[in-house]
A and B are shown apart, each in its own frame.
Chain A
Amino acid sequence: MNRTSTNNDIVKYIYNELEERETLKLNFKGLTEPRIYNEISSFLDIKSDLDLCFETPSDMIINSIKERVLVQKREKTING
C-alpha cells in the first residue's frame, strides 16, 4: 500500500466507505504508525466540527413553503 492510496483510504475510512479488509489493514496501521493515527483522529475531529455547521432556515420561510404547498394543491383540485 503506497502513501497516496493510504491517504485516500483514510478519507474513505472516516466516511465509512472503506471495505472491511482494507479497514482492518488501516486499523492495524493506525496502531503501529503515529502519522496514520494522528491523521485519522484529526480528520474525525474535523468531521465532528463540520456537523456543527448545519443551518436551519427561519420558521417564516418554512411556514411560507408549507402554505405554498397547500395553495398549489387547492388550485390543482379546483382546476382539476
Chain B
Amino acid sequence: MENYTLDKVQLSECVIIKSIECEKELADRIINLGLVKNSVVKPLFKSPFGDPTAFLVKNTIVALRNKDCKNIIVSPISDNMEE
C-alpha cells in the first residue's frame, strides 16, 4: 500500500504510522504521546483556523500542527478503528 504523510489524511480516516521523520526532540515528544510506529491514528477535528489538527491515538486526543504532520509517514488501513 502506498505511503503518504499525516497532514494529507482526511478527517475520520484511520491510518497506521510507518515512521516519524521529525527532528529528534520533536520526534521524542510525539512518540511519548503514543504516536509510535504501527499505532493507529485518526484525525478527529481541526482548529477554527484550520491548524492544528486533533488526532485520536490510543484513546487519547493529541493536537499537532500541519507542518509537523508533514514529517509523519503513514499508510492507510481498511477497517475502522475502535474508539
A and B found bound together: no
Chain A residues in the interface with B (C-beta under 8 A): none
Please give the residue numbers on chain B whose beta carbons come within 8 Å of chain A beta carbons, in ascending order: none
